[in-house]
Structure 1
Amino acid sequence: MELKIGKSDCIFLLLCMLLGIVAEEAFFRAEIGISYLVFIVAFYGLFFFRYRRVSFSHQRFGYLVLICIWLLAASYFINDNMYFYALNIIAIPVLVFFHLVLVTSQKSIRWNKPAFITYLFLKLGGAIKYNFVFASLLGKVFKQGVDESKFQVWKKVSIGILISIPVLMVVLLLLMSADTQFEKMVGGIPHWFQVIDAEVVFRIIVVLFYSFAFFGLMQVLMKKQINVMNQNGDQLTFKMDAVITITVLVLINAVYVLFTIVQFKYFFSGSLQGDFTYAEYARKGFFELLFVTLINLSITVLVLTFVKSTIGFIKRFIQVLLTTLVLSSAVLLSSAFMRLSMYEDAYGFTFIRVMAHSFMIFLVVIFMYTLIKIWIEKLSLFHFYFISALLYYTVMNVINVEQIIVTKNIERYEQSGKIDLHYLNSLSYTGIIGLIELYKENPQLPGLKNVLHERKNEANLSNYSWQSYNLKRVQANEELIKLHLE
């Protein structure tokens, strides 16, 4: 890879370094809050500045992905769910990378084909390679005017130091554990170098890492010579035999028909046999039914994708069998949904249970589209699945699932007198706001006053930086400070 670095590239590198400083400030100074949204604004500001003269491809889908990215980043500012907090650390960078590659790719490239994954990895590898070549170019620049023999010596000394560091770390730890005096002496070494601040060095490394990561990626995306979206490469060579497929589907559907009869006879009719309570029955079968439903979806997708093209009776028979499989899956989902609802009535609402409910609703949408795809072959499964999954994940981030959990648990308390205060307290600040509302209506509820008293003390002592600014936290702390505990 030959590089020609011009004046505009040097200016862009400086801008990437400024963006690297913003990234370090946003992610490494304090808990992430509004800082993620600030970083996304700065990042896309630089991106659109760099590509101001470039015509983007896949614009409609690109705007959809971009909106989802901004909403996910804003969720750190609006909500404070710890599960999504962790998931989005991975999800947002992946979506950003996908979006950048998508809109800068050739218009002929189809993102909903398997080869696009290869294209993504090629771009990622190209960005890494670009930085290595750029570093080599910088080395040549610094090398000018330096004696070759001295340069090689310093180069080898640097390599030797890097190699010896891990060995020295192990040896020093062993020697320090073997001799107390040596441990004291080595432990005092950092005080000899008060000038060097380890934290500053770490932050400089982080800034440089981000700077060159942004620089290398955006520089490589300017080049569109990589084209792996060969039409022949998208043709599937593996095919499933129609007769074998029919045999498998007939056997599977026979089992599901029998299961459906049992469900309608015992579960949907409202009567159970044996010693099981509804809560025990729900807990026993929910995850099994959900897993079987996912197996059914996988079988349906495999058949639609890999079965050899057929005509006439065989084709129609496969479509009927797949339709039966989808309808059986609807019965399984309905049974699982009812089981989970009964379990929630018995034991309360949690994040996992509410997310499981929402995921089943998402599966209903997927199965409805899949049912249409069975009879209308020209539809694309992956295209719809990807967009639906992206929208589902974004919506679940934005709507504040924990607010639903708090509301449902309070409603359950009003009906049954049962509530898990410790679980609500373990939630984010949405749970604290719910406990405050509960206290205003039921101040005599055992244990509630103590929980809020501890939270109020924490609110009075809390001191967060601008990076961690979060609307729910501010609302909860303000209500806690104003709350009068009798």
Structure 2
Amino acid sequence: MEIKLNKLDWVFLLLCFVLGIAAEESFFRDMIGISYLVFIFLFYAVFYWRFRGFTCSHQRFGYLVLICIWLLAISYSIHINQLFYALNVLIIPALVIFHLVLVTSQKSLPWSKPVFIQYLFLKLLATFKYNIGFMAVLGKLFKQGVNEDKYVIWKKISIGLLISIPVLYVVLTLLMSADSQFERMMGEIPQLFQIVDAEDIMRMIVVLIFTFAFFGLLQVLFNKQIKAIIQKEYSQSFKIDAIISITVLVLINALYLLFTFVQFKYFFSGTLHGDFTYAEYARKGFFELLFVTMINLSITVLVLNFVDTSASLMKRLTQILLTALVLSSGVMLSSAFMRLSMYEEAYGFTFIRFMAFSFMLFLAVIYLYTLFKIWIEKLSLFHFYFISSLLYYTGMNLIDVEKIVVTKNIERYEQTGKIDPVYLNSLSYSGVLGLMELYEKNSEIPGVKELLQERKNNLSNESVSWQSYNLKRELAIKKLQKLEIK
């Protein structure tokens, strides 16, 4: 790839280097907190500066994705949850890349079609190729004014060093494991050459990786669009025979009809046969039902998208069978919801159980829309699924789920006298606030006093950098400092 750079490109490279430093400072110094919001602000400031005067496409949907990105970044500074903390490390960058490719693509490119995924991966591949070409440009710049023979020699030495590093690392590790005296001697070498800190070298490598990732991607998006794969109409070559699909749907619906009869007999009539308690029965079947419900949704989507229903009779029969499948799935979803409710009533509230409840409600919305899609063909499944999933996930990040769980458990304690302080302590700062509320209600609850004292010692001794600033943590520290534990 031949690359020609002007003065503005070099200025942009310098800005990407600043972004690389900001990324390393934000994500690799301490726990992520307000630093994610700061980085997103800097990143999009550079992006909009580079693309000033550029006409963006898919603007309405682009703004929705952008708002969700900002809200997810803000959630890091409001409260902390281990699950969302880990997921957002991957999801936010993925959404940023999706948003950048979306708003810089042609208006004629439909984002809800598989062709857009192909376009996105072509852009990522082009980023890699661009950086290789840019390295070649840098090599030519360094080569100017240098003797050709000396340049070749230093180039070969550099390649040899790069090849040797992993080999030397493996061999050195093995030799140090084999001889303790050699290990001690090698351990003293860094003290003799304290010129450059190894940590600083690794941080600079991280900065450069981020720099070229940002520079390459944004340069590729700014340059000419990829037009080779753009198609106004996306034709599906893969089709499923209608008779085969109808046969499968008839058999599945027959099985679900029997299951629905059992569910009404057991749950909806208020009776339960066998040796199981309600809690045991709920725990035994919840995940199985949820998994079957997901299978049903997959079958429905496959039939709607790939079954050939050109004949009117086949089309109507398929719609009826799919409607029956969706309604059966609704019964299963209701059964799973009741099972989880009974299990929660018996054993209390947890983060996972709350998320399962919310996911089932989300699935109910998905199934309702799918039911409309069965009879209204012009509706787009992927369009709705993607937007609703994005809004659901963003909403779950903004809602303090752990606070809701703590509140529910305290309400349960007031009604039944049952509480699990150890579980509350396993939560983040919302759990700490819940323990303090419990202690104020009843200081004699076993274990609460000790847990609070331990938390107070840990939080007061912690030194947290600006990157990890979090509103919920600050609130917990202030309340703990005021709390008198006797």
TM-score when scaled to structure 2? Answer: 0.98
CA offsets 1:264-317 (integer angstroms, 9 cap, x no match): 111111110011100000011101110110111011101100111324322111
- Matches of residues 378-417 of structure 1 in structure 2 within 5 Å? 378-417=378-417
- CA drift at 1:232: 7.4
CA offsets 1:55-94 (integer angstroms, 9 cap, x no match): 1000000000000000000110001001100000000000
CA offsets 1:164-221 (integer angstroms, 9 cap, x no match): 1222222222322333332222221111211111121111111111111111110000
1:162 aligned residue: 162
- CA, structure 1 residues 234+244, in 2 after alignment: closer, same or farther (shift >3 Å)? same
2:314 aligned residue: 314
Cα separation, 1, equivalents of 2:29 and 2:57: 36
State the SS of the aligned residue for 2:274.
Answer: coil
- Matches of residues 201-350 of structure 1 in structure 2 within 5 Å? 201-231=201-231, 234-350=234-350
Report if aligned partners of 1:119, 1:228 keep a CA contact under 8 Å in 2: no
- CA, structure 1 residues 479+338, in 2 after alignment: closer, same or farther (shift >3 Å)? same
2:457 aligned residue: 457
- CA drift at 1:228: 4.8
1:62 aligned residue: 62
Report if aligned partners of 1:106, 1:224 keep a CA contact under 8 Å in 2: no
- Give the aligned residue type for 2:200: V
Cα separation, 2, equivalents of 1:291 and 1:228: 40
| More deviation, 438-447/378-387 | 438-447
Cα separation, 1, equivalents of 2:2 and 2:233: 29
- Give the aligned residue type for 1:424: L
Cα separation, 1, equivalents of 2:379 and 2:178: 70
State the SS of the aligned residue for 2:378.
Answer: coil
CA RMSD of aligned residues (A): 1.2
1:47 aligned residue: 47
1:74 aligned residue: 74
Unaligned runs of 5+ in 2: none
CA offsets 1:325-366 (integer angstroms, 9 cap, x no match): 101100000000000010011111111111111110000000
Report if aligned partners of 1:177, 1:183 keep a CA contact under 8 Å in 2: yes
Cα separation, 2, equivalents of 1:228 and 1:285: 50
| More deviation, 150-159/163-172 | 163-172
- Give the aligned residue type for 1:35: S
CA offsets 1:339-396 (integer angstroms, 9 cap, x no match): 0010011111111111111110000000000000000001110000000110000000
Cα separation, 2, equivalents of 1:320 and 1:191: 77
State the SS of the aligned residue for 1:157.
Answer: helix
Aligned residues: 486
CA offsets 1:39-59 (integer angstroms, 9 cap, x no match): 000000000111111010000
2:355 aligned residue: 355
Cα separation, 2, equivalents of 1:228 and 1:318: 37
State the SS of the aligned residue for 2:121.
Answer: helix
- CA drift at 1:425: 0.2
Cα separation, 1, equivalents of 2:339 and 2:436: 31
Report if aligned partners of 1:115, 1:228 keep a CA contact under 8 Å in 2: no
- Give the aligned residue type for 1:350: T
Are 2:84 and 1:84 aligned? yes
- Give the aligned residue type for 2:424: L
Cα separation, 2, equivalents of 1:72 and 1:387: 15
Report if aligned partners of 2:257, 2:328 keep a CA contact under 8 Å in 1: yes
Cα separation, 2, equivalents of 1:443 and 1:226: 67
Report if aligned partners of 1:349, 1:409 keep a CA contact under 8 Å in 2: yes
- CA drift at 1:441: 0.9
Cα separation, 1, equivalents of 2:176 and 2:443: 57
- Give the aligned residue type for 1:309: T
Cα separation, 2, equivalents of 1:168 and 1:261: 68
The 4+ residue runs of structure 1 with deviation greater than 6 A are none
- Give the aligned residue type for 2:465: S
- CA, structure 1 residues 309+450, in 2 after alignment: closer, same or farther (shift >3 Å)? same
Identity of paired residues, percent?
Answer: 68
Cα separation, 2, equivalents of 1:408 and 1:349: 7
Cα separation, 1, equivalents of 2:164 and 2:189: 18
- Give the aligned residue type for 2:315: K
- CA drift at 1:101: 0.2
Cα separation, 1, equivalents of 2:226 and 2:239: 29
Cα separation, 2, equivalents of 1:173 and 1:214: 35
Cα separation, 2, equivalents of 1:173 and 1:9: 43
- Matches of residues 462-473 of structure 1 in structure 2 within 5 Å? 462-473=462-473
Cα separation, 1, equivalents of 2:231 and 2:253: 36
Report if aligned partners of 1:118, 1:228 keep a CA contact under 8 Å in 2: no
Report if aligned partners of 1:57, 1:102 keep a CA contact under 8 Å in 2: yes
Report if aligned partners of 1:116, 1:229 keep a CA contact under 8 Å in 2: no
Are 2:445 and 1:445 aligned? yes
- CA drift at 1:105: 0.4
- Give the aligned residue type for 2:244: I
CA offsets 1:403-444 (integer angstroms, 9 cap, x no match): 111111111111111111111100000111111111111111
Cα separation, 2, equivalents of 1:409 and 1:280: 20
- Give the aligned residue type for 1:477: I
Cα separation, 1, equivalents of 2:225 and 2:318: 43
TM-score when scaled to structure 1? Answer: 0.98
- Give the aligned residue type for 2:126: G
Cα separation, 2, equivalents of 1:417 and 1:185: 62
- Give the aligned residue type for 1:377: E
Report if aligned partners of 2:23, 2:210 keep a CA contact under 8 Å in 1: yes
Cα separation, 1, equivalents of 2:431 and 2:462: 18
Cα separation, 1, equivalents of 2:185 and 2:453: 47
1:6 aligned residue: 6
Report if aligned partners of 1:76, 1:470 keep a CA contact under 8 Å in 2: yes
- Give the aligned residue type for 1:158: S
Cα separation, 2, equivalents of 1:272 and 1:356: 24
Cα separation, 1, equivalents of 2:177 and 2:122: 47
Report if aligned partners of 1:119, 1:227 keep a CA contact under 8 Å in 2: no
- Give the aligned residue type for 1:384: F
1:430 aligned residue: 430
2:116 aligned residue: 116
